[in-house]
């Protein structure tokens, strides 16, 4: 095969991996709750459930409460994976001796590993989370395309039975020669993925789905009306709004959850717009096995549990609302919830520190969290945020404000 033909294959890989980068970035933003209308429309087919959001809200979507980094989505590794393949393909495209560079062999090896990981992720999505993520499946197709292109390119260079020999001969050489370049590419991609994924504008959370189809909204309202009436306990639970308000929203959340943070902004707006009509109750569902027996992963620093405890202790001093908002403000700024950080919040809001510290280590806190978790188990909650309006569930995840307002307006007409 000629050098020009090889460059053509590299060009195909460059295009495919670039598509993979874009799709993975969308998934990262979905995880952090910053995706917006466009991604929601991609993930919803004919008004069906947003499978991308359901996957992003599950405990399998990322590694939570990591020291220094906080929550890291699995999609970030896909972003780095496709970005690295893009970088390797570019180096190969620019190489003077593409037939002996070892780049295409390395891409082939990465594609095989990537496909194996995709099979595992797809199985988890389908059989455990029980959701179909269109964007995820699109990345799997991209991986298959890269693998096929790399395979064809290698076959053109030699007989099929020599592919493994070519891999053994050239992969190590390519890694050794360009290790520094690969490390720089990876670090750059990690920075872009985390920074770009977490960035959001204020306008993004206030205008989701302004052009949503009214028929879809009506179908969702109809589905809500047909939903089962559940029993949720609200006595003694901190809340915002008018205590006599006829519409009750109950929110189960984690203070390290990006979707929960953006939901808090939406609910704050709802409370203002529907003043006297809506009240919101706040319950804890920390995605941390240290205080939530329904979650297998345990954070080394117990950040989500610490934040939940701080909200409970703040409520005991009638300072819940301020502390609740400060906890999410810290989350948005990338500050890890810790004993030190929550004490700073307590100081800022003039809580009695001695009482607060005693409360944080008390049995009352663990009992309160366990009570919320037990209720969450009965309600079959598996992700955050989970909202219940007048004792009926709506789809988990960040609610579409257009749908939420339409539903609340619908309910007010029945009062």
Domain count for the chain: 2
How many helices and strands, by DSSP H and E, does the chain display?
15, 7
Q: What is the predicted pLDDT for the residue at 217?
A: 86
Supply the pLDDT for residue 341.
96
Enter the tokens of residue 388: 């219940």
pLDDT beneath 70: ranges in the chain: 1-6, 36-38, 40-41, 44-50, 59, 64-68, 70, 96-101, 157-175, 200-213
Decide if 255 is inside a domain.
yes
Same domain, 31 and 157: yes
> Environment class of residue 210 by beta-carbon count within 10 Å: exposed (0-12), middle (13-18) or buried (19+)?
exposed
Pair 192, 252 in one domain: no
Report in angstroms the alpha-carbon separations of 380 from 204, 291, 375, 377: 30, 18, 9, 5
Task: Say yes or no: 334 and 393 in one domain.
Answer: yes
Helix (H) or strand (E) holding 284, with range, is strand 278-284
The tokens describing 288, both together, are 């941390």
Q: What is the pLDDT of residue 194?
A: 83
> Are residues 393 and 244 part of one domain?
yes
DSSP 157-178: HS-GGGHHHHHHHHHHHHHHHH
185 plus 239 within the same structural domain? no
- Among positive and negative, which fits the CA dihedral 295, 76, 113, 187? negative
Q: What is the CATH number of the domain that holds 342?
A: 3.40.30.10
Tokens linked to 14: 């460059």
d(CA 367, CA 72): 29
Dihedral sign for Cα atoms in the order 295, 297, 302, 304: negative
Reply yes or no: is the peptide bond before residue 338 cis, omega within 30 of 0.
Answer: no
The reply to whether 216 and 177 lie within a common domain is no
Q: Considering the domain boundaries, does residue 402 fall inside one? A: yes
Residue 157: give its domain's CATH number: 1.20.1440.130
Residues 144 and 229 placed together within one structural domain of the fold: no
Strands (E), 28-83: 62-66, 70-73
Non-local (6+) Cβ contacts of 331 within 8 A are 70, 255, 256, 258, 261, 337
Q: What is the pLDDT of residue 348?
A: 95
Q: Are residues 28 and 84 in the same domain?
A: yes
Residues 220 and 194 in one domain: no
How high is the pLDDT of residue 284?
97
Structure tokens at 80: 């780095």
Residue 115 dihedral angles phi and psi, to the nearest 5°: -65, -40
DSSP structural state of residue 14: H
Find the domain containing 116 and state its range: 3-200
Burial of residue 354 (number of CB atoms within 10 Å: 0-12, 13-18, 19+): exposed
Cβ atoms 365, 223 nearer than 8 A: no
DSSP-based three-state secondary structure for 400: coil
Nearest residue to 79 via CA among 20, 32, 137? 20
Residues 174, 106: contact at Cβ < 8 Å?
A: yes
SS3 222: helix
The helix or strand, by DSSP H or E, that contains position 388, with its residue range, turns out to be strand 386-389
Please answer whether residues 402 and 394 qualify as being in contact, where contact means their C-beta atoms are separated by less than 8 angstroms: no
Provide the sign of the torsion angle of the four alpha carbons 204, 205, 206, 208, taken in this order: positive
Task: Identify whether 59 is part of a domain.
Answer: yes
Query: Can you list the alpha helix ranges (DSSP code H) found in 134-288?
Result: 134-157, 163-198, 214-226, 258-273
What is the Cα 160 distance to its own chain's centre?
41
- Using DSSP, state whether 231 is helix, strand or coil: coil
- 205 lies in some domain: no
Residue found by looking up tokens 């009214």 in the block: 214
What's the alpha-carbon Rg for the chain, to the nearest Å?
25
Supply the pLDDT for residue 160.
Answer: 44
Mind listing the pLDDT tens digit for each residue in 319-361?
999 999 999 988 877 788 999 999 999 999 999 999 999 999 9
E strand or H helix at 402: helix 401-412
Beta bridge partners, 284, equal: 253
């Amino acid at each position: 095969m000629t050098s020009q033909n090889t460059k053509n294959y590299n060009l195909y890989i460059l295009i495919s991996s670039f598509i993979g980068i874009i799709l993975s970035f969308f998934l990262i933003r979905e995880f952090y709750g910053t995706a917006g209308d466009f991604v929601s429309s991609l993930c919803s087919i004919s008004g069906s459930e947003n499978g991308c959001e359901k996957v992003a809200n599950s405990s399998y979507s990322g590694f939570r409460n990591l020291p220094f980094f906080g929550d890291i989505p699995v999609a970030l590794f896909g972003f780095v994976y496709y970005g690295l393949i893009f970088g390797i393909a570019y180096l190969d495209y620019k190489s003077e001796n593409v037939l002996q560079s070892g780049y295409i062999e390395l891409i082939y090896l990465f594609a095989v590993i990537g496909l194996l990981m995709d099979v595992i992720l797809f199985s988890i999505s389908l059989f455990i989370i029980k959701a179909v993520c269109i964007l995820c499946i699109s990345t799997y197709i991209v991986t298959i395309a890269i693998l096929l292109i790399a395979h064809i390119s290698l076959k053109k260079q030699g007989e099929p039975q020599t592919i493994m020999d070519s891999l053994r001969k050239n992969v190590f050489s390519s890694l050794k020669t360009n290790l520094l370049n690969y490390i720089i590419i990876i670090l750059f991609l990690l920075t872009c993925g985390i920074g770009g994924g977490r960035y959001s504008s204020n306008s993004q959370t206030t205008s989701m789905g302004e052009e949503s189809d009214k028929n879809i909204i009506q179908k969702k309202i109809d589905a809500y009306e047909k939903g089962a009436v559940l029993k949720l306990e609200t006595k003694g639970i901190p809340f915002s709004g008018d205590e006599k308000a006829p519409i009750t929203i109950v929110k189960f959340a984690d203070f390290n959850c990006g979707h929960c943070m953006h939901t808090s902004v939406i609910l704050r707006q709802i409370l203002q717009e529907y003043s006297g009509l809506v009240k919101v109750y706040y319950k804890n569902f920390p995605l941390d096995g240290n205080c939530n027996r329904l979650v297998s992963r345990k954070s080394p620093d117990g950040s989500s549990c610490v934040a939940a405890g701080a909200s409970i202790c703040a409520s005991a001093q009638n300072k819940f609302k301020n502390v609740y908002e400060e906890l999410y403000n810290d989350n948005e700024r990338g500050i890890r919830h810790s004993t030190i950080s929550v004490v700073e919040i307590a100081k800022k809001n003039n809580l009695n520190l001695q009482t607060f510290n005693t409360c944080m280590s008390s049995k009352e806190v663990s009992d309160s969290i366990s009570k919320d978790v037990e209720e969450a188990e009965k309600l079959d909650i598996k992700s955050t945020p989970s909202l219940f309006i007048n004792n009926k569930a709506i789809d988990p995840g960040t609610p579409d404000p257009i749908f939420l307002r339409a539903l609340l307006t619908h309910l007010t007409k029945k009062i």
